[in-house]
């Protein structure tokens, strides 16, 4: 039983490489805007000229065919132009986010045979590798002749690995072009569409964020800001007249629960969710804000290229996790039992995917290692299968529903994390004797909790050690220190008791809301404790040292603004990361309002005091 009604031979298609598809779009839409970034507007012809100039620059460095070129930077026009140029020069691109920890960045660069590094505005040292520094200059037109290049190795993407090292996956040109072409055709993407570009370079989702619009005559709109707060994200979607966006459910859930626009935003037509299970309650909330948007649930691991399932969510939204629907054209999925037999509808098994548009596999020191199993697919195809590790079943409509994982992998904010990698890095600290890590479900997202048997009891020391080696999303939000970790009679760590302890409800906070003498620091401290599930905090502790991350600080920012009726630039919260410094910031802004307009300042202070009285009145017990 499959979700696909044709054989691979009937639909197998060789696709032009992405830079050729882009060049074809330039021929049709040359004078239309390809990218908007702040006040910068780049036409398709302008982007092609820039990419041509970079291609000539790359060829002047005499890079060989299929050389891996690392493009380092952040979301920008330059990174997009460099990516297209690398492909046009016949090389393989590896995107590196310049905000990654230095040790992690260097590990990624050295884990594959990187031939050169392009710095797109990034400013950091790279040892033992040729550096090609590219900064925005006036483009120099070069005779255009973008054609398909030899070889099919398009990009290197990284996913978490159990050994403490990220795994390098080699993506294929044919697989990438297959998905982008499918998305363009299936959703009629073309001129006039405006795509929000929220995705960082660290994730392979970057490719669909940027390239689906650029092969279609649409416009990529890049926000100029730090990580977007909820209010900023909604303002950007409205003010930039965004018609399509790719989002991760947990981040979207955070936005929709911390800020609700006053009026519906009607420009959005396509919302593509991916990376995590999509809940019906989020779909309903999103539709209330974006009534004209179709909602699409995408599913597929990096190994099979971007997505191989999609589900259009209709107006009748079921409760709970939404199905991932059916296969996109050119793929098949099976639910297999442990013995390899095909599961019946309603029976739980492992989701396995077959497609000729898959990646080439993992790049290791000994060469490419395909993660695909030959001869496992039941009957209909000879294509090898990828075992996703996701548990699923078919519902009565023959759609696939996801039910969880078979292993220690989790998703946080759409990022696939192998807890064994976090454990391995923690275990490498010289003071750590034993370690266990697990996931904890918080209000908006999952977090990682670590249990450590160690002579070192300083949480900040361990966290600083991890920050040099892991991206922020993989750093535990809490560390619990023990003399020894509990073990079962067979000598194994008692995973069940530690996981239950990590997920125990937070201790209730003492209710002090009825007090009228609360200071700004009192209120901000309380918000911290509720947000981080940590009742005991020092006002001088760093937010990121006690379980905060770039997402939860956005929630903190929104809640402090509401508490004090202030508008505070979100960057100020990244600059002031203690209760003490944030309280000082709030006091300064309240004082400045009073100085600028005494009446307005007194009114503002009155609103805050009145809010406290209302909270106190609601908190009093009733007879």
pLDDT at 137: 60
pLDDT at 255: 86
Q: Is 551 helix (H, G, I), strand (E, B) or coil?
A: coil
pLDDT at 443: 67
pTM: 0.79
Q: Report the C-alpha gap between 214 and 190 in whole angstroms.
A: 9
CA dihedral 77, 82, 88, 90 (to 10 degrees): -160
Of the candidates 401, 300, 383, the residue with the CA atom closest to the CA atom of residue 345: 401
- Which spans in 70-172 are helix H? 77-88, 102-110
Residues 222-249 have pLDDT tens digits of: 998 766 678 889 999 999 999 999 998 8
Q: Where does the chain hold its CATH 1.10.1200.10 domain(s)?
A: 520-619
Task: List the helix and strand counts (H, then E) for the chain.
Answer: 18, 27
Give buried/exposed letters for 169-196 (b at 16+ CB in 10 A, else e): bbbbbbbbbbbbbbbbeebebeeebbbb
Domain 409-502 CATH superfamily: ANL, C-terminal domain (3.30.300.30)
Q: Report the C-alpha gap between 536 and 529 in whole angstroms.
A: 7
Intervals of the chain under pLDDT 70: 1-13, 64, 134-145, 150, 161-164, 226-228, 375-381, 443-444, 489-492, 506-517, 535-536, 593-623
Q: Where does the chain hold its CATH 3.30.300.30 domain(s)?
A: 409-502
- Which spans in 418-551 are helix H? 419-427, 459-467, 495-502, 520-532
Q: Report the C-alpha gap between 568 and 524 in whole angstroms.
A: 14
Token pair 């049709």: residue? 28
Residues 131-163 have pLDDT tens digits of: 887 665 656 666 666 777 767 899 999 987 666
pLDDT at 507: 56
Q: Report the C-alpha gap between 385 and 382 in whole angstroms.
A: 9
Environment class of 145 (CB within 10 Å of its CB; exposed 0-12, middle 13-18, buried 19+): exposed
Q: For the domain 520-619, what is the CATH code?
A: 1.10.1200.10
Environment class of 123 (CB within 10 Å of its CB; exposed 0-12, middle 13-18, buried 19+): exposed
Distance of CA 111 to the CA centre of its chain: 22
pLDDT at 511: 47
């Amino acid at each position: 039983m499959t979700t696909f009604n044709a054989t691979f031979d009937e639909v197998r298609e060789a696709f032009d490489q992405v830079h050729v598809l882009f060049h074809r779009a330039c021929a049709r839409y040359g004078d239309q805007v390809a990218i908007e970034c702040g006040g910068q507007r780049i036409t398709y012809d302008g982007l092609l000229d820039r990419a041509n100039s970079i291609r000539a620059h790359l060829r002047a460095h005499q890079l060989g065919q299929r050389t891996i070129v690392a493009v380092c930077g952040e979301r920008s026009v330059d990174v997009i132009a460099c990516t297209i140029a690398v492909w046009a020069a016949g090389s393989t691109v590896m995107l590196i986010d310049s905000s990654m920890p230095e040790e992690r960045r260097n590990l990624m660069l050295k884990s594959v045979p990187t031939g050169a590094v392009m710095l797109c505005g990034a400013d950091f040292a790279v040892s033992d590798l040729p550096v090609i520094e590219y900064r925005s200059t006036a483009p120099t037109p070069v005779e255009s002749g973008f054609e398909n290049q030899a070889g099919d190795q398009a990009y290197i993407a990284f996913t978490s690995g159990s050994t403490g090292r990220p795994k390098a996956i080699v993506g294929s040109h044919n697989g990438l072009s297959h998905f982008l072409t499918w998305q363009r055709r299936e959703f009629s993407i073309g001129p006039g569409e405006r795509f929000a570009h929220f995705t960082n370079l660290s994730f392979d989702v970057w490719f669909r964020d940027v390239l689906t619009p650029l092969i279609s005559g649409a416009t990529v709109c890049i926000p100029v800001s730090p990580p977007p707060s909820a209010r900023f994200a909604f303002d950007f979607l409205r003010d930039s007249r965004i018609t399509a966006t790719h989002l991760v459910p947990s981040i979207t859930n955070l936005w929709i629960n911390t800020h609700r626009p006053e009026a519906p935003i009607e420009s959005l037509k396509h919302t593509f969710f991916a990376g995590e299970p999509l809940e019906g309650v989020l779909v309903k909330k999103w539709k209330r804000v974006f009534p004209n948007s179709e909602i699409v649930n995408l599913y597929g691991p990096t190994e099979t290229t971007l997505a191989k399932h999609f589900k259009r969510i209709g107006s009748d939204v079921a409760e709970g996790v939404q199905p991932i629907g059916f296969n996109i054209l050119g793929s098949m999925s099976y639910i297999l039992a442990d013995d390899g037999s095909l599961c019946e509808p309603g029976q739980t098994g492992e989701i396995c995917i077959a497609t000729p548009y898959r990646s080439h596999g993992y790049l290791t020191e000994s060469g490419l290692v395909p993660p695909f199993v030959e001869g496992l697919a039941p009957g209909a195809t000879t294509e090898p299968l990828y075992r996703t590790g996701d548990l699923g079943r078919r519902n009565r409509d023959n759609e696939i529903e996801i039910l969880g994982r078979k292993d220690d992998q989790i998703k946080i904010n759409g990022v696939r994390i192998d807890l064994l990698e976090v454990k391995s890095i923690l275990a490498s600290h010289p003071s750590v004797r034993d370690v266990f890590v697990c996931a904890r479900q918080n209000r908006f997202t999952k977090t990682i909790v670590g249990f450590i048997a160690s002579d070192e009891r300083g949480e900040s020391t361990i966290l600083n050690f991890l920050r040099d080696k892991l991206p922020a999303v993989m750093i535990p939000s809490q560390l619990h220190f023990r003399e020894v970790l509990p073990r079962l009679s067979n000598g194994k760590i008692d995973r069940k008791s530690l996981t239950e302890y990590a997920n125990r409800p937070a201790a209730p906070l003492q209710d002090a809301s009825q007090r009228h003498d609360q200071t700004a620091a009192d209120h901000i401290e309380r918000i911290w404790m509720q947000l981080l599930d940590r009742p005991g905090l020092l006002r001088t502790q760093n937010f990121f040292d006690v379980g905060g991350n770039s997402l939860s600080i956005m929630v903190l920012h929104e809640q402090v603004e509401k508490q004090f009726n202030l508008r505070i630039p979100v960057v100020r919260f990244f600059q002031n990361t203690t209760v003490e410094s944030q309280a000082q910031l709030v006091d300064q802004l309240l004082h400045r309002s009073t100085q600028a307009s005494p009446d307005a300042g007194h009114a503002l202070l009155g609103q805050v005091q009145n809010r406290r009285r209302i909270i106190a009145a609601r908190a009093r017990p009733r007879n």
